[in-house]
Amino acid sequence: MGVGKTAACKELNKALSGSVWLDGDWCWMMNPFIADDYSKRMVEENIGFLLRNFLKNPAYEYVIFDWVMDREEIYEIVLDQVRECGFELYKITLQCGESELRKRIAEDIESGDRSEESLRDSLARRGLYDKLDSTKIDTSNMSAREVAEAIKNIVVSYQYIGQPL
């Protein structure tokens, strides 16, 4: 939370022609917010449904998915629902330094987009991302557009050397 996932994915969606973008947080936009077991399973199933349909749609070459995934088990919950679709997976973790994270979330708190609790949660989870089997990008000194370009370069360079997407 607070490292720039949404902003970077918005830019990446613009930069990659033939792309569709799903922000996992959209599936949690409920009022009141209820994070019980039923809602959690419902959100996971909704994400799986949307991703499967995007992956099956021949109009899209790229499916961009972002969500707070701080444990491999979260990846597996999502991937178990879409494995049959056949796709190349790029696991990319966006990170930033603690002072930059505090600054960004403080700005979001001031604007009313986040709570103090989100700052505590984000700081508490920082170390978990280092353990993930993913490509790490430090967004501390990068704009959303620069982060999107870095991600695009990872995808395009992989594709360019002849690997299927």
Residues of the chain below pLDDT 50 = 161-165
Residue 48 is given by DSSP the state: H
Q: Quick check: is 25 in a domain?
A: yes
User: Cis omega before residue 58 (within 30°)?
Assistant: no
Q: Quick check: is 32 in a domain?
A: yes
pLDDT of residue 159: 55
Q: pLDDT by residue (tens digit) across 6-20?
A: 999 999 999 999 999
Q: Quick check: is 165 in a domain?
A: no
Please give the Cα distance from 140 to 85 (Å, whole number).
34
Residues 58, 47, 116, 100: is their CA dihedral positive or negative? negative
The tokens 């178990």 sit on which residue?
80
Q: Quick check: is 152 in a domain?
A: yes
Q: Quick check: is 101 in a domain?
A: yes
How far is the CA of 46 from the CAs of 27, 80, 134, 136, in angstroms? 7, 13, 24, 27
For residue 8, give the nearest of 135, 139, 124 by alpha carbon: 139
Angle formed by the axes of helices 98-111 and 116-125, nearest 10°? 160
pLDDT of residue 57: 97
- What range does the domain containing 118 cover? 5-160
Residue 164 is given by DSSP the state: -
pLDDT of residue 158: 58
Q: How many domains does the chain have?
A: 1
Query: What angle is formed at CA 83 by the lines to CA 165 and CA 30, rounded to 5 degrees?
Result: 100
Q: Quick check: is 17 in a domain?
A: yes
Residue 133 is given by DSSP the state: S
Which CATH number does the domain housing residue 147 bear? 3.40.50.300
The amino acid at residue 147 is V
